[in-house]
């Protein structure tokens, strides 16, 4: 690999360059300013993310570093969405840690580094860049999950996430070594050439291990065991971040591996994805029915939703990748809004609202927030005309076009089951008497929740008009299709 020859082509990697250099300079600045400078550090990190989003939108497309880094329409679409989501999370975190009197200037920098890892993931062109990006994202998220060191639940969440994440990384690395050993190359395009003519048992085992490692990162069943505990214990802004952007990056990476390196072996990997998809429907749907904690409820909802994303990838078509892009943008908006709404609800004594039964009577006390949560809940469960309906519409359409009728029907049944626990939440807010004294809502959390609700409807109509065309153009040529 001759980096001197590739250096003039760094325009393709301009967003990653901006994020990496910004993280280094801001870290040095933070070491001098300390926690007192968190406001300015958060602003700088947010500016770096917005700058990277513009750079991603305008940077040229191409393949650099001898095929290890791919800048195409899919990666650009995903990067812009992830950068914007990360900027909103930094805003949420600023207010959250201010209210707890536990400012740590490292928080926005860690978000920046995690986003850099995700950016490398969606542009990975070989097994090395795949692993480097994945571990950079994961290591930052492990620290963020345990960020409140004086809180037992946060420390427990970080430890569980780290231990199980290390296991998943081991599975992924072992699978990657098998793929390299039997294919003779790290590059996805070269692996595809080898797999087309000689898809032996070793390659199949390696592929299964790689899928298993990435399935952990997206919390697909049966690799979901970390999700409820991490969601419950980690700081809420961290969970709002981990629930959306990292899973988007891991799912795009999974799609790139399967539809580039193993594009000719769809019959082998489709079976694995469909099993994971159905298990996610079952675990997410039935597990959510028993939850009393709001964040754990969203954890099981996330598991179920990853089943829909896997179904889009399993379709194995350009339409499926387009559905995946549209699905995740709309899903990130809904989850960010729901976590922001939960952060905006506090008791007058300062304690956070965490249990589902504490939402009772919210409409009688805070009508605007009750409306926002209702809109977001209806969107997540897939009620028309909200954003969640359109995300599932695209996924089901891709599955049916790919001949996966029965699995689309299973996803529809899972949506009906999930509707129960969201309708229960709506019923509590609108028809039950208040059980707690609600305090004043933090401004940043309140307005992010309102913005997300507005995007879910009617703002989603504007997104569908422009976003559908962007997603359609993004997937042209993806995976060599």
Give the C-alpha distances (Å, rounded to integers) separating 74 from 64, 198, 256, 273, 328.
16, 29, 9, 20, 12
pLDDT band at 37 (very low <50, low <70, confident <90, very high): confident
| Structure token pair of residue 404 | 């996966």
Contact 307, 277 (CB under 8 A): yes
Contact 402, 314 (CB under 8 A): yes
Q: Respond yes or no on whether the N-terminal peptide bond of residue 458 is cis (omega within 30° of 0).
A: yes
Give exposure, 399-432, as e/b (b: 16+ Cβ within 10 Å).
Answer: beebebeebbebbeebbebbbebbebbbebbbee
Among 39-43, 141-145, 473-477, whose mean pLDDT is lowest?
A: 473-477
> How many domains is the chain built from?
1
In a domain, 329, yes or no: yes
Angle at 46 between CA 296 and CA 338, to 5 degrees: 25
Backbone angles phi, psi at 71, to 5 degrees: -110, 105
Spatial distance between the Cα atoms of 340 and 444, rounded to a whole number of angstroms: 8
pLDDT band at 104 (very low <50, low <70, confident <90, very high): confident
What is the predicted pLDDT for the residue at 197?
A: 87
pLDDT: is 10 or 104 the higher one?
A: 104
What is the predicted pLDDT for the residue at 3?
A: 47
Give the C-alpha distances (Å, rounded to integers) separating 173 from 138, 183, 195, 208, 232.
14, 15, 19, 12, 29
Residue-wise pLDDT for 424-474, tens only, equals 999 999 999 988 888 888 889 999 999 999 998 877 887 887 887 888 888
Is the pLDDT assigned to residue 21 strictly greater than 90? Answer: yes
Is the pLDDT assigned to residue 207 strictly greater than 80? Answer: yes
Spatial distance between the Cα atoms of 130 and 249, rounded to a whole number of angstroms: 11
pLDDT band at 392 (very low <50, low <70, confident <90, very high): very high
In a domain, 110, yes or no: no
- Domain region containing 329: 270-481
pLDDT band at 218 (very low <50, low <70, confident <90, very high): very high
Q: Respond yes or no on whether the N-terminal peptide bond of residue 385 is cis (omega within 30° of 0).
A: yes
Spatial distance between the Cα atoms of 353 and 347, rounded to a whole number of angstroms: 7
What is the predicted pLDDT for the residue at 479?
A: 67
Query: 29 burial class (0-12, 13-18, 19+ CB within 10 angstroms)?
Result: middle
Give the C-alpha distances (Å, rounded to integers) separating 457 from 203, 258, 376, 449.
45, 34, 9, 13
| Structure token pair of residue 451 | 């913005």
Q: For residues 224-247, give the mean pLDDT.
A: 92
Among 172-181, 243-252, 391-400, 466-475, whose mean pLDDT is lowest?
A: 466-475
Contact 300, 283 (CB under 8 A): yes
Spatial distance between the Cα atoms of 424 and 419, rounded to a whole number of angstroms: 8
| Structure token pair of residue 171 | 């599975």
Residue-wise pLDDT for 277-320, tens only, equals 999 999 998 998 889 999 999 999 999 999 999 999 999 999 99
Contact 229, 208 (CB under 8 A): no
Q: How large a percentage of the chain has pLDDT more than 70?
A: 97
In a domain, 302, yes or no: yes
Spatial distance between the Cα atoms of 464 and 275, rounded to a whole number of angstroms: 30
In a domain, 6, yes or no: no
Is the pLDDT assigned to residue 339 strictly greater than 80? Answer: yes
What is the predicted pLDDT for the residue at 7?
A: 54
Spatial distance between the Cα atoms of 308 and 410, rounded to a whole number of angstroms: 10
In a domain, 293, yes or no: yes
Q: Pick from 294, 227, 307: which is nearest to 429 by CA?
A: 294
Among 379-383, 399-403, 461-465, whose mean pLDDT is lowest?
A: 461-465
What is the predicted pLDDT for the residue at 69?
A: 93
Spatial distance between the Cα atoms of 229 and 291, rounded to a whole number of angstroms: 12
Residue-wise pLDDT for 304-314, tens only, equals 999 999 999 99
Concatenated DSSP letters for 348-397?
TTSPBP-BGGGGTTHHHH-HHHHHHHHHHHHHHHT-TTSHHHHHHHHHHH
In a domain, 294, yes or no: yes
Q: For residues 81-104, give the mean pLDDT.
A: 90
What is the predicted pLDDT for the residue at 33?
A: 87
pLDDT: is 174 or 149 the higher one?
A: 174
Q: Scanning the structure block, which residue is given the tokens 């969201």?
A: 422
In a domain, 22, yes or no: no
Is the pLDDT assigned to residue 34 strictly greater than 90? Answer: no
Contact 48, 8 (CB under 8 A): no
What is the predicted pLDDT for the residue at 144?
A: 94
Spatial distance between the Cα atoms of 70 and 261, rounded to a whole number of angstroms: 13
In a domain, 455, yes or no: yes
What is the predicted pLDDT for the residue at 481?
A: 57
Backbone angles phi, psi at 323, to 5 degrees: -60, -40
On the CB side of 279, CA atoms within 13 Å amount to 14
């Amino acid at each position: 690999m001759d980096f001197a020859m590739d250096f003039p082509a760094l325009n393709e990697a301009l967003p990653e360059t901006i994020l990496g250099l910004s993280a280094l300079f801001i870290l040095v600045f933070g070491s001098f300013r300390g926690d007192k400078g968190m406001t300015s550090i958060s602003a700088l990190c947010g500016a770096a993310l917005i700058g990277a989003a513009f750079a991603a939108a305008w940077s040229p497309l191409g393949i650099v570093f001898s095929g290890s880094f791919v800048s195409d329409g899919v990666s650009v679409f995903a990067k812009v969405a992830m950068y914007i989501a990360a900027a909103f999370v930094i805003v949420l975190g600023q207010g959250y840690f201010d209210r707890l009197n536990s400012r740590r200037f490292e928080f926005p920098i860690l978000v920046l580094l995690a986003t850099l890892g995700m950016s490398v993931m969606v542009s990975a062109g070989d097994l090395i860049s795949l692993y480097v990006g994945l571990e950079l994202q994961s290591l930052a998220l492990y620290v963020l999950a345990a960020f409140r060191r004086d809180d037992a639940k946060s420390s427990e969440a970080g430890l569980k996430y780290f231990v199980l994440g290390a296991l998943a990384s081991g599975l992924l690395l072992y699978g990657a070594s098998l793929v390299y050993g039997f294919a003779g190359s790290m590059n996805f395009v070269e692996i595809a050439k080898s797999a087309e003519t000689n898809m032996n048992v070793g390659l199949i085992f390696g592929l299964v291990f790689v899928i298993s490692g990435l399935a952990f990162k997206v919390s697909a069943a049966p690799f979901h065991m970390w999700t409820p505990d991490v969601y419950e214990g980690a700081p809420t802004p961290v969970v709002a971040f981990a629930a959306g952007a990292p899973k988007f990056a891991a799912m795009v990476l999974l799609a790139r591996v399967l539809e580039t390196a193993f594009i000719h072996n769809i019959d082998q990997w489709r079976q694995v994805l469909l099993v994971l998809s159905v298990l996610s429907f079952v675990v997410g749907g039935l597990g959510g029915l028993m939850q009393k904690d709001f964040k754990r409820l969203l954890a099981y909802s996330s598991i179920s939703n990853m089943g829909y994303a896997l179904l889009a990838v399993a379709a194995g078509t350009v339409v499926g990748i387009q559905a995946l892009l549209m699905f995740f943008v709309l899903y990130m908006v809904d989850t960010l809004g729901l976590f922001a709404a939960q952060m905006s609800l506090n008791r007058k004594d300062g304690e956070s609202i965490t249990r589902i039964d504490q939402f009772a009577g919210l409409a009688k006390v805070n009508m605007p927030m009750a409306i926002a949560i209702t809109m977001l809940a209806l969107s997540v469960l897939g009620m028309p005309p909200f954003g969640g309906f359109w995300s599932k519409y695209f996924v089901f359409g891709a599955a049916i076009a790919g001949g996966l009728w029965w699995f689309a029907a299973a996803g529809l049944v899972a949506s009906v089951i999930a509707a129960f626990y969201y309708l229960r939440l709506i019923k509590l807010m609108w028809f039950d008497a208040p059980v707690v004294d609600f305090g004043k809502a933090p401004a940043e959390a309140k307005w992010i929740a309102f913005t997300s609700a507005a995007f879910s409807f009617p703002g989603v109509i504007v997104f569908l008009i422009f976003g559908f065309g962007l997603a359609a153009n993004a997937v042209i040529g993806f995976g060599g299709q």
